[in-house]
């Protein structure tokens, strides 16, 4: 008899677990409605701030003549889409629901449930965008376009000039070098050398 009671007890416990747990999950959307909406608002603000930071980096890179990474452009578009369309829609629906109900005294449970569900989904999507928006670099140096320059008149190729010319060319290929200076006594051919390098 105890054996039967133990089996029936475990079956009833499992049945209660499988029925109560889903109900608790659905009730949390009704009881924590404001928390879901506030979480979404907070994450959306953080996403807007992250977008502004990335846009500043993009603008600075463009001013420096650099090309923007493709994933950065895609991220900016995705953020604009998420903020402008989907998150704003949830916020507008929240405001409409508040206006329908007189000062929050008669909440529409169906509307609250749907809004909480959407707010949670959008908050997760916004969090994912925030995570993907942490870029090490937003741009890269574009390969210089071929510039055709007429040959420099009066340039004679000496062995000493060739080694200096090669050294300067190697320095220009290094991405970490942004400025190369050529100095020396006046009249020894610095300008001619630089014109030859440009050619």
**pLDDT band at residue 65 under the 50/70/90 scheme:** confident
Q: What angle do CA 72, 73, 74 make, to 5 degrees?
A: 90
Whether 29 has a pLDDT exceeding 80, the answer reads no
What was the pLDDT predicted at 52? 93
Token readout for 103 is 């000062």
Give the long-range contacts of residues 193-196, CB within 8 A, separation 24 or more. Answer: 193/161, 193/164, 193/165, 193/168, 195/149, 195/152, 195/155, 196/152, 196/155, 196/165
Render pLDDT for 127-170 as a digit per residue (tens, 0 to 9). Answer: 998 998 888 898 888 776 665 555 556 666 667 777 777 887 88
Mean pLDDT for the stretch of residues 175-195: 77
What was the pLDDT predicted at 26? 57
What was the pLDDT predicted at 197? 74
What was the pLDDT predicted at 50? 93
Render pLDDT for 69-128 as a digit per residue (tens, 0 to 9). Answer: 999 999 999 998 877 788 888 887 777 777 666 555 556 777 777 888 888 888 898 899
User: Comparing 68 with 93, which gets the higher pLDDT?
Assistant: 68
User: Comparing 61 with 92, which gets the higher pLDDT?
Assistant: 61
Domain ranges of the chain: 32-141, 159-198
Q: Cα separation of 120 and 61, whole Å? A: 35
CA distances from 143 to 65, 67, 166, 172 (A): 10, 9, 19, 12
pTM for the model: 0.58
DSSP 3-state of 108: coil
Whether 57 has a pLDDT exceeding 90, the answer reads yes
What was the pLDDT predicted at 73? 92
The alpha carbon of residue 73 and the mean position of all alpha carbons in its chain are separated, in whole angstroms, by 9
């Amino acid at each position: 008899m105890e054996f039967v009671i133990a089996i029936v007890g475990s079956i009833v416990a499992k049945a209660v677990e499988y029925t109560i747990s889903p109900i608790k999950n659905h009730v949390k959307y009704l009881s924590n409605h404001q928390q879901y909406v506030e979480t979404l608002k907070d994450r959306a603000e953080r996403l807007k701030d992250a977008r502004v930071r990335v846009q500043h980096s993009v603008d600075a890179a463009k001013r420096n003549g650099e090309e923007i990474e493709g994933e950065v452009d895609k991220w900016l578009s995705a953020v604009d889409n998420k903020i402008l369309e989907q998150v704003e829609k949830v916020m507008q629906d929240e405001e409409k629901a508040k206006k329908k109900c007189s000062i929050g005294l008669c909440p529409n449970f169906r509307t609250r449930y749907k809004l909480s569900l959407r707010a949670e989904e959008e908050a997760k999507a916004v969090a994912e965008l925030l995570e993907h928006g942490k870029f090490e670099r937003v741009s890269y140096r574009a390969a210089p376009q071929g510039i055709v320059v007429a040959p420099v008149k009066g340039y004679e190729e000496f062995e000493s000039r060739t080694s200096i010319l090669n050294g300067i060319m190697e320095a220009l290929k290094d991405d970490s070098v942004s400025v190369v200076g050529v100095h020396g006594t006046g009249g020894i051919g610095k300008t001619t050398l630089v014109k030859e390098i440009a050619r």
